[in-house]
């Protein structure tokens, strides 16, 4: 039985968990008008640092959000609604109740380029797990976001921020190695308690159609074997769903 399980499991790598690179995402904002911009989203110990410059609009405040879809053609109208996996009402970036994608307003100033500098840290946004904003879109609207305080139903969904004027897909910038469970570290950069990890995948040619349940059972069996071999007291299993990869990760502690 043990040999059977080991034959259908691909142990891709065995690596120590150490401090690794923080993830960085990027979005290039474009529009049918003259609005352009580049926004970088970098992991920090407290969430994501959002930084960049947008140009091309008159001075004023404009609503800025993460939308649920990454389809930004032809004029951002296919990007879906605000990213709101928790089903909350709309609010501001610092509101207790808000969409994950609620980023408040960006302020364009009366300079030579008519630009807005975006520079803030957000504790709700993430590049990992089921609420990851990777592959979704950043959208700039034509009106100021009332942050859910407008006193009408639209205020509680969009902040009355109006039509979309620019948008861009949020994509991977760095690091270059795969963003898999086996190489993940916490955004705080702290060393994990897991001494070793193993990546298991259903794409192994021995058995390319392993179901999630079958992989889970196989992982549990392997967990017991590894725990015994390393003389460890415990073993943990988890899945990295940030990119919806068909993989399981196994660690010993």
Q: Which residues are catalytic?
A: 65, 67, 82, 90, 99, 102, 141, 164
Asked if residues 29 and 39 have their Cβ atoms less than 8 Å apart, the reply is yes
> Which residue intervals of the chain are DSSP H helices?
2-8, 212-230
Cβ–Cβ under 8 Å, residues 83 and 102 = no
Phi, psi values for residue 226, rounded to 5°? -65, -40
Do the beta carbons of residue 210 and residue 221 sit within 8 Å?
no
Provide the residue count of the chain: 253
The C-alpha atoms of residue 201 and residue 12 are separated, in whole angstroms, by 8
What phi and psi values does residue 50 have, to the nearest 5 degrees?
A: -105, 120
Cα angle for residues 168, 145, 32 (degrees, 5° grid): 35
> Measuring CA to CA, which residue among 159, 167, 157, 109 is closest to residue 137?
167
Tokens of 168: 């861009």
How many Å apart are CA 111 and CA 100, to the nearest integer?
Answer: 31
Q: Which class for 52: exposed (0-12), middle (13-18), buried (19 or more C-beta within 10 A)? A: buried
What the block records as the tokens of 179 is: 């963003």
Q: Which two tokens stand for residue 201?
A: 């995948």
């Amino acid at each position: 039985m043990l040999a059977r399980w080991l034959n259908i499991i691909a142990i891709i790598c065995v690596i120590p968990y150490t401090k690794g690179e923080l993830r960085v995402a990027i979005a290039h904002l474009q529009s049918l008008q003259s609005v352009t911009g580049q926004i970088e989203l970098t992991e920090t110990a407290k969430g994501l640092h959002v930084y960049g410059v947008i140009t091309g609009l008159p001075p004023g405040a404009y609503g800025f959000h993460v939308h649920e879809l990454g389809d930004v053609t032809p004029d951002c109208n296919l990007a879906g609604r605000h990213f709101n996996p928790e089903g909350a009402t709309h609010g501001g970036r610092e509101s207790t109740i808000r969409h994950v994608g609620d980023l408040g307003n960006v302020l364009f100033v009366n300079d030579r380029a008519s630009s807005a500098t975006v520079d803030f840290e957000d504790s709700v946004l993430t590049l990992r797990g089921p609420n990851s904003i990777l592959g979704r879109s950043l959208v700039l609207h034509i009106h100021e976001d009332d942050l859910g305080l407008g006193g009408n139903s639209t205020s509680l969904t969009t902040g009355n921020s109006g039509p979309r004027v620019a948008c861009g897909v949020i994509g991977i910038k760095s690091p270059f190695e795969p963003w898999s469970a086996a190489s993940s570290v916490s955004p705080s950069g702290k060393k994990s308690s897991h001494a070793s990890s193993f990546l298991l995948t259903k794409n192994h040619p021995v058995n390319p159609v392993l179901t999630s349940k079958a992989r889970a059972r196989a992982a549990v069996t392997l967990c017991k074997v590894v725990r015994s071999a390393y003389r460890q007291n415990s073993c943990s299993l988890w899945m990295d769903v940030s990119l919806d990869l068909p993989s399981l990760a196994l660690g010993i502690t």
